[in-house]
Structure 1
Amino acid sequence: MILGIVSALVAVVGGVLGSGAVIGTPIAEAADGALSATATLAAPAGPAFSIWSVIYLGLLAYAVWQALPAQQRSTRQRILRRPIAATMLLNAAWILVVQWGRVFLSVVVIVALLASLAVVFSLLIRHPIERTSSAATAVDTVVTDGTFGLYLGWVTIATVANVSAWLAATGWTGGASLWGVVVLVVAALVGLFLARVSNGRIAQALSLSWGLAWVAQGRLAGENLDTVVGWTAALAAAVVLVGTLALRVTARQRR
């Protein structure tokens, strides 16, 4: 219980630091701008990052939810607490590493974050919500499954952008458009895989599609233009969203 609350507060404080709203340097300006919206072809346009407000709100809501007496007795929450705490602490660590200007180390941390979120996602699937009341089920669906689904989908596209930023920071410029197309296709395939193993869970598809759509906007109408990458991102966003919805309908029909 305490671990969940402390981890959420650390993550949110890290988010404030990373936004530069009170102290610290905005992520887009840290590390010599390596992670700005125009640094690479795989970077989402600036407004995409507003999704963090929703994710951080969800993390705080989860911290409160898992601390309630009924959830303290929940087997599901007992299994989830430590892996979820790891995701929140790694998120704060990533922000600190970027503020420190270490782009390669930020790749290491975000890959670890993505892996930890994948573990949480698998646990959410393997340990479904314990049916107690319709109200509790609805809250758990939104606060736990919804929050960490959004978190996973967004970190998937963020990892793509982060790796691309590191490569650019090393001076690698060869085949930038081809690299952009390849990593966006991989992101779409990951989105479809997550939909397949979860029978069409929608939260991770929404955030991944959101990120892909803003990559498209940045390449088609922003400063760092690339029509091929832009349309690939737009198509990838549509494929993830439509494919997930189709798998969701199919799973419901089977049930």
Structure 2
Amino acid sequence: MQQSTSHNNQDFIRQIATLVAIVGAFVVNIVSNIFPLNGLSIGAISNTLFQDVLVIPANYAFAVWGLIYLGLFALAIYQVLPNQKQDEDLRKVGYLLVIASVFQSIWVYLFLSRLFTLSVVAMLGILVPLMVTYHLLGIGKKRVSRTKKLCLHYPISIYLSWISVATVVNVASALYFYGWNGGGINNQVWTIILLVIATAIAAVIVFRYKDIAYAGVTVWALIAIAKRSAGIAVKHSNIDVLRNFAIFLAVMLVFVAIIKGMNLPHAETQRHRE
């Protein structure tokens, strides 16, 4: 009985910590835009200091944070419900979402303080826990209820996908800020390489896990990068190549997602039989 009570207390603490961490990260994000540190918001820094970093998406792309936090709030409420206290998946995840949320807040401070190298470290502090969470939940590998998919799996997929793209953007921005010249490789070529890497990761996720939500966010980012490239074409030669290539990658990823999505019911049934 005492051991059961101890487990219940630990579960309750984890539930509350996860809820507080997610809400805290959201509040930090909102406050940082209303009262930006050093006078510039995250968007303002991206549009001024990093206006020549071609891999940064157009401003509207960051509206995805609305969807991300909507999903995270659903996750926070779902996991704090009494009947989820002893859920084995949530127990396996433990405090990983707390760690990701705390690093999300730390990243905001570091980026606004223009400590861009440290901001990359903080970004990895978000990315790695989300990757481990994704694996532990078995997203795309195990059958779960519709509610659990909507309130747990989809929010993690969407969040991880955007953070994967954001990590690439963060690294590129930090390298640009500290004067890295690309090792002699043209800026557009480096951007294309980064886009290929991001698309390849999303394609692997779709093939292995049938995760359409993850692919959808990457497609959103690719289209936004193409849109921003079109907007700065006056400042860069051969920018149309980058724009068209980003659109091509987005179309190819949509095609892959459609093909795998068409096979999804059969795959789900097969796994259920096994």
Q: State the TM-score, normalizing by the size of structure 1.
A: 0.88
Aligned partner of 2:29 in structure 1 is 15
1:189 to 183, 200, 203: 200
Structure 2 portions without partners, runs of 5+: 1-14
Code of the aligned partner of 1:182: I
Aligned positions of 1:86-235 closer than 5 A: 86-125=99-138, 128=142, 130=144, 137-174=145-182, 175-198=186-209, 200-222=210-232, 226-235=239-248
In structure 2, relative to structure 1, the CA distance for the partners of 1:103 and 1:34 (3 Å cut) is farther
Listed one character per residue, the Cα deviations across residues 11-38 of structure 1 (whole Å, up to 9, x for unaligned) are: 10121134x1355441023489445xx3
- Shift of residue 105 of structure 1? 1.0
Taking the aligned partners of 2:83 and 2:57, their CA distance within structure 1 comes to: 40
Listed one character per residue, the Cα deviations across residues 61-111 of structure 1 (whole Å, up to 9, x for unaligned) are: 211110101111211111124122222112111111111110111112212
Listed one character per residue, the Cα deviations across residues 220-248 of structure 1 (whole Å, up to 9, x for unaligned) are: 23466521221221122222222123223
Listed one character per residue, the Cα deviations across residues 90-142 of structure 1 (whole Å, up to 9, x for unaligned) are: 21111111111101111122123222221111122168465xxxxxx222211
- Shift of residue 40 of structure 1? 0.5
Q: Is 1:29 aligned to residue 44 of structure 2?
A: yes
RMSD in angstroms over aligned alpha carbons? 2.1
Aligned partner of 1:4 in structure 2 is 18
Worse overlay, 45-54 or 119-128? 119-128
In structure 2, relative to structure 1, the CA distance for the partners of 1:32 and 1:232 (3 Å cut) is closer
Task: Indicate the percent of aligned positions where both proteins have the same amino acid.
Answer: 24
Aligned partner of 2:84 in structure 1 is 71
In structure 2, relative to structure 1, the CA distance for the partners of 1:88 and 1:39 (3 Å cut) is farther
Q: Which has the larger radius of gyration?
A: 2
Taking the aligned partners of 2:168 and 2:240, their CA distance within structure 1 comes to: 19
- Shift of residue 197 of structure 1? 2.3
Taking the aligned partners of 2:47 and 2:219, their CA distance within structure 1 comes to: 28
Number of residue pairs matched by the alignment: 245
2:22–2:98 CA contact under 8 A, matched in 1 = yes
- Shift of residue 143 of structure 1? 1.6
2:99–2:125 CA contact under 8 A, matched in 1 = no
Aligned partner of 1:133 in structure 2 is none
Q: Aligned to 1:42, what secondary structure does the other structure show?
A: coil
1:31–1:103 CA contact under 8 A, matched in 2 = no
Taking the aligned partners of 1:76 and 1:33, their CA distance within structure 2 comes to: 43
Taking the aligned partners of 2:29 and 2:258, their CA distance within structure 1 comes to: 31
Aligned partner of 2:11 in structure 1 is none
